[in-house]
Amino acid sequence: MCGIVGYVGSKQVTPVLINGLKKLEYRGYDSAGVAVMSDSSDEILVKKSKGALKFLVEKITDEVVKTSKDMSDAQAEKRLGELIEKTGTIIKGNVGIGHTRWATHGEPSDLNSHPHTNVSGTIAVVHNGIIENYAKLKAWLQDQGVVFKSQTDTEVIAHLINYFYEKTGEIFKAVLETLHRLEGSYALGVLCTKYPDRLIAARKESPLIVGLGRGENFIASDVPAVLEYTRDVYYLNQNELAVLYNDHVDLFDSDGNKVVREPSHVEWDMASAEKGGYAHFMLKEIHEQPKALTDTLRPRLIFDGDKAKDIQFDEIDFGEDWKQAGRIVITACGTAYHAGVVAKYAFEKFARIPVAVDVASEFRYRNPILNKNDIFIVISQSGETADTLAALRLAKAAGAKVIAITNCVGSTVSREADEVIYTWAGPEIAVASTKAYTTQLMCLYLLAIKLGKERGSLSAQQYSRLLSEIAAIPEKAQQILDNQSEIQKFASQQFNKSKIFYIGRLFDSASSLESALKLKEVSYMHCEAFAAGELKHGPIALVDPDTLVVAIATEPELYEKLASNIVEVKSRGATTMAITLDKKGAFDNCCDSVITIPDSEPALASMLSIIPAQLFAYYCSILRGNDPDKPRNLAKSVTVE
Ligand code: F6R
């Protein structure tokens, strides 16, 4: 996720910006940059660089951080600190904005790094978020003669502010006019040479705080960036703007009316501030799912007023290849593979097209049969998983059209695939995947529903109903998170069980796989997933009073069958829990605990039923004294076989 820092005060601003950005490194980034209001000329000085912050520092100072091969990490860190201080003697000024970028539109590069400016360089902008209507705005600006330098959505903001500045002659008005035309999410910091004493900030959906110092004020994406200087902050509300001067800050609503309110006082220490007050990144990322799902969904939905009327993937050509496809082949590893298994049910149900799903490490070695009219989909959060990449290359060599679903712009998978669909989950720091999984599901469901329409297997009415249902998923995810105490309580009763089984039928058997993996990874409890109907073909032999069986139940026609499976394990002494859509008591008699998820279309409920399972895994991990963010023996990105 991008990180923003801004400063107005009397200190040399460049080191303040870079040190602030260092405190936001945990958010993940691929490039960095600063823009500083020069103290000696009427211009904004901009420096940016792809890669780690140290490359930006090296570019500014023209010196290297690591001067000898034998330099220890501690020495290199100390020298980096010295060079950061030195940047203040090179780029001089007291007002500035800085940015670490997590690429969305356009690969990581010097050019695509923020800050972005208008053509004359008199306005500079940093942005976190996604501008959904940027293509339309860009085309319009190009018609006005604007020449773009980058591939980013952010650059349109700088040019648009410039356009309105030329019309209104007032920077605040120009920013307001611009914001009224932006669709999507943003946290913004804006500088203008005509107003060298101030910094304008705004937010919608993406986080932004204002830090209040003495004779100095700050903006930042998150509290850690300002904690060294102040604990008094405004958490900017939705659609709010702030204008920062060195001695005061004015807040405004989206119509430009002044807002007056008391700042908040931050009590967190640095470690919990990085996690937004959550105890762990895993919990933070579980809680980020409503936003991640919205970010992934919204740019692909076309609305008529409040009603979703169509799905549109700007990034892929939904042409004859898709309509005439004979089969979809999905390949991935781990959690991403589980998203593929759910997708098999979705594609087959909505688009009536056969789907083969394969673990990439198997696919690559079994001389797979690929047909000309197969659509080949790889799923990878990191876009760097060795086995998934090998499978992708194999499919390409066989002449298949390869679509990648990934979370990382510029990753190897994204570069080598024919077409890429991005999940907009933002960086995932915890090793166990949570928000990447649900956003992968969101992309796959959108594809399946769209394909169902194109191939005529969904009626207009069914299509329209599914669109309304999918549009409501992020809000329902939030409702589950708002009621997590039941799961926490259940975990506190069950975290010492020696065996856990997840069971389900159809979509729910697929969700069981991912639920069991989450629990294994972070709690180290022995956990397996079975299609419920398979229990009596063997696994039931394992059931005893030390077993917990969790049934995922979102298929109303199969509730009775599933309830019979639960009775079978309960009569052998197992403790039982259901995660279900049912509100009529179908599982009340056979389950010790029932977690009800909000009413929704059963075929889409996999995006919801996983959330209680993620929380259960997280709380079991904590109760067993583990670190859920760094499970033993696991790495975030598996770049070796
Ligand atoms: C589990 C997990 C892993 C990954 C797998 C594939 O929580 O994160 O199972 O899903 O290693 O990684 P990507 O999606 O990066 O290819």
Q: What is the pLDDT of residues 554-606, one digit of tens each?
A: 999 999 999 999 999 999 999 999 999 999 999 999 999 999 999 999 999 99
| Confidence category of residue 265, pLDDT binned at 50, 70, 90 | confident
**What three-state secondary structure class fits 28?**
coil
Of the ranges 114-118, 397-401, 604-608, 609-613, which one carries the lowest mean pLDDT score?
A: 397-401
For residue 9, give the nearest of 207, 267, 248 by alpha carbon: 248
Helices 13-23, 73-90: axis angle to 10 degrees equals 140
Q: Reply yes or no: is the peptide bond before residue 115 cis, omega within 30 of 0.
A: yes
Please tell me whether residue 184 adopts helix, strand or coil conformation: strand
Pocket test for ligand 1, best of 281, 285, 333, 409 (most atoms within 8 A of CB): 333
How many angstroms does the Cα of residue 636 sit away from the middle of ligand 1?
A: 7
Whether residue 362 contacts residue 388, with contact meaning beta carbons closer than 8 Å, is answered with: no
Give the Cα separation of 131 and 607 in Å (integer): 25
DSSP calls for 390-456: HHHHHHHHTT-EEEEEES-TT-HHHHHSSEEEE-------SSS-SHHHHHHHHHHHHHHHHHHHHTT
Question: Strands 232-235, 264-265: parallel, antiparallel or unpaired by DSSP?
Answer: antiparallel
The catalytic site residues sit at: 2, 636
Mean pLDDT for the stretch of residues 605-618: 98
Q: Contact at 8 Å (CB) between 313 and 450?
A: yes
Asked whether the beta carbons of 263 and 213 are under 8 A apart, the reply is no
The pLDDT of residue 272 is above 80: no
Q: What is the pLDDT of residue 244?
A: 98
Give the residue among 231, 202, 158, 219 at the shortest CA–CA distance from 9: 219
| Integer Cα distance of 579 and 562 in angstroms | 12
Residues 6+ apart with CB under 8 A from 77: none
Compute the 3-state secondary structure of the chain and give helix, strand, coil in percent, each to the nearest 5: 40, 20, 40
Residue 634 CA to ligand 1 centre (angstroms) = 10
Q: How far is the CA of 513 from the centre of ligand 1 (A)?
A: 13
Q: Whose CA is nearest to atom 10 of ligand 1?
A: 335
Rg (C-alpha) for the chain, rounded Å, is 26
pLDDT digits (tens, 9 = 90+) for 513-546: 999 999 999 999 999 999 999 999 999 999 999 9
User: What is the pLDDT confidence band of residue 274, given thresholds at 50, 70 and 90?
Assistant: confident
- Among 399-413, 447-461, 507-521, 554-568, the minimum mean pLDDT is found in 399-413
Q: Is 433 in the pocket of ligand 1 (CB under 6 A)?
A: yes
What b/e readout covers 33-42, taking b as 16+ CB neighbours within 10 angstroms?
A: bbbbbbeeee
pLDDT exceeds 90 at position 205: no
Q: Quick one: which of 416, 414, 470, 460 has its CA closest to 438?
A: 470
d(CA 406, ligand 1 centre) in Å? 11
Amino acid sitting at position 613: A
Residues 6+ apart with CB under 8 A from 263: 212, 232, 233, 234
What is the H or E stretch that residue 235 is in? Answer: strand 232-235
381 lines ligand 1 (CB under 6 A): yes
CB of 12 sitting under 6 A from ligand 1: no
pLDDT at 319: 85
Check pocket membership of 336 for ligand 1, CB cut-off 6 A.
yes
pLDDT tens for 297-345 read 999 999 998 899 999 998 888 888 888 899 999 999 999 999 999 999 9
Decide if pLDDT at 428 tops 80. yes
For residue 638, give the ligand 1 atom closest to its CA. 11
Half-sphere exposure of residue 292: CA atoms within 13 angstroms, side-chain side: 28
Torsion, Cα 190 193 198 199, to 10 degrees, reads 10
Give CA–CA dist 20/28, Å, rounded: 14
pLDDT of residue 56: 96
Tokens of 209: 């705080």
**Ligand 1 center from residue 637 Cα (angstroms):** 7
Query: What is the bridge-based pairing of β-strands 307-311 and 249-252?
Result: unpaired
What mean pLDDT is reported for the chain? 94
Residue-wise pLDDT tens digits, 6-60: 999 999 999 999 999 998 887 778 899 999 999 988 999 999 999 999 999 999 9
Instruction: Quote the ligand 1 centre to 382 CA distance (angstroms).
Output: 8
Burial group, residue 563, by CB count within 10 angstroms (0-12, 13-18, 19+): buried
For residues 119 and 44, give the distance between their C-alpha atoms in angstroms, rounded to a whole number.
12
What's the rounded Cα separation, in Å, for the pair 187 and 185? 7
**What number does the ligand 1 atom closest to the CA of 431 have?**
8
Residue 409 confidence (pLDDT): 84
Q: Ligand 1 in contact with 171 (CB < 6 A)?
A: no
pLDDT over 70, % of the chain: 100
Over residues 147-156, mean pLDDT: 94
Q: For a substitution probing ligand 1, which of 381, 413, 630 has the most ligand atoms within 8 Å of its CB?
A: 381
pLDDT of 427 reads 81
Does the beta carbon of 522 sit less than 6 angstroms from any atom of ligand 1? no
The predicted pLDDT at position 390 comes to 94
- pLDDT, residue 276, reads 79
Lowest mean pLDDT among 35-39, 101-105, 353-357, 473-477: 101-105
Mutate to test the pocket of ligand 1, among 435, 518, 638 (most ligand atoms within 8 A of CB): 638
Strand order in the sheet with 249-252: 116-117, 123-128, 186-192, 199-204, 241-244, 249-252, 258-259
CA distance 292 to 122: 34
- The answer to whether the CB of 380 is under 6 A from ligand 1 is yes
Spacing, Cα 426 to ligand 1 middle (Å): 15
| CA distance from start to end of the chain | 28
Closest by CA to 443, choosing from 403, 415, 476, is 403
User: Does the CB atom of residue 515 touch ligand 1 within 6 A?
Assistant: no
Task: Give the dihedral sign, CA 111/116/117/119.
Answer: positive
Using a 6 Å cutoff on CB, does residue 406 contact ligand 1? no
Cite the DSSP H helix spans in 53-170.
Answer: 53-61, 73-90, 134-143, 155-168
What is the token pair recorded at 312?
A: 């549109």
pTM: 0.80
What pLDDT, on the 0 to 100 scale, is given for residue 139? 96
Which tens digit of pLDDT belongs to each residue from 186-198? 999 999 999 999 9
Burial class (CB in 10 A: 0-12, 13-18, 19+), 173: middle
Overall average pLDDT of the 381-410 stretch: 92
Q: Report pLDDT for 457.
A: 96
Cα of 123 to ligand 1 centre, how many Å? 41
Which amino acid, residue 434?
T
Supply the residue whose CA is at minimum distance from atom 3 of ligand 1.
Answer: 334
638 in contact with ligand 1, CB cutoff 6 A: yes
Q: Could you tell me the domains of the chain?
A: 3-273 (3.60.20.10), 275-471 (3.40.50.10490), 482-628 (3.40.50.10490)
Q: Is 432 in the pocket of ligand 1 (CB under 6 A)?
A: yes
The residue with tokens 């990874």 is 521
Q: Could you tell me the distance, in angstroms and rounded to a whole number, from the CA of residue 360 to the centre of ligand 1?
A: 12
Count, residues in the chain:
641
Pick the residue whose CA is nearest to atom 11 on ligand 1: 334
Indicate which residue's Cα is closest to atom 9 of ligand 1. Answer: 334
The DSSP line for 209-231 is EEEE-SS-EEEESSGGGTTTT-S
Residue 437 φ/ψ, nearest 5 degrees: -65, -50
Closest C-alpha to ligand 1, atom 8: 433
pLDDT at position 25, please? 85
Residue bearing the bigger pLDDT, 636 or 248: 248
> Structure tokens of 376?
């080949």
434 Cβ below 6 A of ligand 1: no
Query: From residue 215, how far is each of 23, 249, 318 by CA, in Å?
Result: 22, 11, 56
Least confident interval from 55-64, 241-250, 426-435, 501-510: 426-435
